[in-house]
Amino acid sequence: MDQNVKLHTELLGKATVEALKKNCFQAEYLPDAASAKKRLLEMIPAGASVGFGGSATIKYLDIKEELAKRNCVCYDHNAAKDPEEAQEIRRKQLTCDIFLSGSNAVTRDGRLYNVDGRGNRVAAMIFGPREVIIVAGANKIVANLEEAEERVYGYAAPINNIRIGTDNPCVRIGHCMDCSTPKRICNVATIFHKCPVGMKTTVLVVGEALGY
C-alpha cells in the first residue's frame, strides 16, 4: 500500500475506533488482516461456541481450522447439509458464546449500518450471544448514515448477490433495483447508534480493505 494511503487509512481507522468507543462499543484498531486474525483468535477462548454470520470478512480471515483445534463449536449455516439444518444453525447462533460478523458500513461517528435478507445476522448482532465481535475493514468506513445506505445499495448488496449467486436484478445492472424477488437479500436494515445495553460488542477496525 502507498505510504500516504496507509497513513490516511490509519488516521481514519483510529478516529473511527475513538468514535465507536464514545458510543459504548469496545473497539480496537488493527493495521492489517493478519493482526486482526491474531487478535480475533486471542479473543475466542478454547471450547467456546462460535456463530458465523455469513460475513465475507470473517471467511477471509480463515479461523475455523484453528477454532476446531481448540475444541470450539462452530455454528456456520453455510456449512449445513440442507436448508433445515441451516435454519437450526441460525437459531443456535442467537445463543452462542461469541458471534462473529462484519458490518456493511461503519460511520465516522461510530454507528453501524447493516442490511440482511433473513434477519438472523442482524438479530444475533443485537442480542443473544454472550459476546459479539465485528470485524470491519477500513473500506467500510463512511461519512454518515446516508453514505452507509448508498454504500450498501450501490455496492455491497449487488456484490453480495454476485457472491452468493442470486439472479436478483442488481447483478445485471450493478446497483439496487428495489426488487421483490424471493431471493432478495435486503429485507431488514439496522442502525446501531450505540452499543445495546448489556451487550459486550467489540468492533475491530482493520487498516485494509476486507469484504464488500
Shortest Å, Cβ 140 to ligand SF4: 17
Nearer to ligand SF4, 52 or 153 (CB): 153
Q: Which range of residues in 22-30, 96-104, 157-165, 201-209 is near ligand SF4 by CB under 6 A? A: 157-165
Cell of 185: 437479500
Measured from the CB atom, the residue of 110 and 158 that comes closer to ligand SF4 is 158
Map the footprint of ligand SF4 across residues 169-198, applying CB under 6 A.
169-170, 176-179, 184-186
What is the edge-to-edge ordering of all strands in the sheet holding 112-116?
Answer: 141-142, 105-107, 112-116, 188-192
The CA distances from residue 209 to 33, 106, 118, in Å, are 9, 13, 26
The interface region with ligand SF4, picked from 15-23, 25-33, 167-175, 195-203 by CB under 6 A, is: 167-175
CB of residue 60 to ligand SF4, shortest distance in Å: 22
Q: Is the dihedral of CA 56, 70, 41, 124 positive or negative?
A: positive
Q: Choose among 212, 208, 204: nearest CA to 158.
A: 212
d(CA 106, CA 89): 27
Q: Smallest distance, Å, CB 33 to ligand SF4? A: 26
Please name which of 78, 71, 75, 77 lies closest in space to residue 50, comparing C-alpha atoms: 75
Site string for ligand SF4, 136-155 (x = CB under 6 A): -----------------x--
- Whichever of 168 and 202 has its CB closer to ligand SF4, that residue is 168
Closest CA relative to residue 127, chosen from 193, 200, 54 = 200
Which residues sit at the interface with ligand SF4, rule CB under 6 A?
153, 157-158, 161, 168-170, 176-179, 184-186
